[in-house]
Amino acid sequence: GNSVTQMEGPVTLSEEAFLTINCTYTATGYPSLFWYVQYPGEGLQLLLKATKADDKGSNKGFEATYRKETTSFHLEKGSVQVSDSAVYFCALRTGTASKLTFGTGTRLQVTL
């Protein structure tokens, strides 16, 4: 079956630090890969996605590259801000199925 493994949090960084949140997956077929973000008190929001190998998803300074050879989709940002503090979820979807398979989420705390 499908599964997603994320690095455990919380991750605490100072503002302007470099961020990496690791995500690896196991899937049948060729999945689409997603990063969702959940800010306090809000729902999960799609941050970025990639639908095929070597695609790079990007949004709001965040990037992730679909690496089929390492089955990974690590989230990166060059310079985090306090407003990036949230929980980040890696997820995948395969074929025409609509259900998403998520990781456990990684809490990011950015301090001044």
Partner 1 sequence: EPEVTQTPSHQVTQMGQEVILRCVPISNHLYFYWYRQILGQKVEFLVSFYNNEISEKSEIFDDQFSVERPDGSNFTLKIRSTKLEDSAMYFCASSEGSSPWEQYFGPGTRLTVT
For binding to partner 1 (CB under 8 A), which residues are involved? 4, 32, 36, 41-46, 51, 89, 91, 93, 95-105
Closer CB to partner 1, residue 9 or residue 17?
9
Tell whether the torsion through CA atoms of 44, 26, 49 and 13 is positive or negative.
positive
Report DSSP letters for 34-103, one per residue.
EEEEE-TTS-EEEEEEE-STT-EEEETTEEEE-BTTTTB--EEESS--GGG-EEEEEEEE-TT----EE-
Q: Closest CB to partner 1 among 40 and 69?
A: 40
Tell me whether residue 78 or residue 95 sits nearer to partner 1 (CB atom): 95
Give me the least distance between CB of 77 and partner 1, in Å please: 21
Nearest distance in Å: CB 64, partner 1: 16
Measured from the CB of residue 20, what is the shortest distance to partner 1 in angstroms?
Answer: 20
- Would you say 27 or 101 has its CB closer to partner 1? 101
Q: Which residues pair with 49 in a beta bridge?
A: 34
Give the position of tokens 């890696």. 90
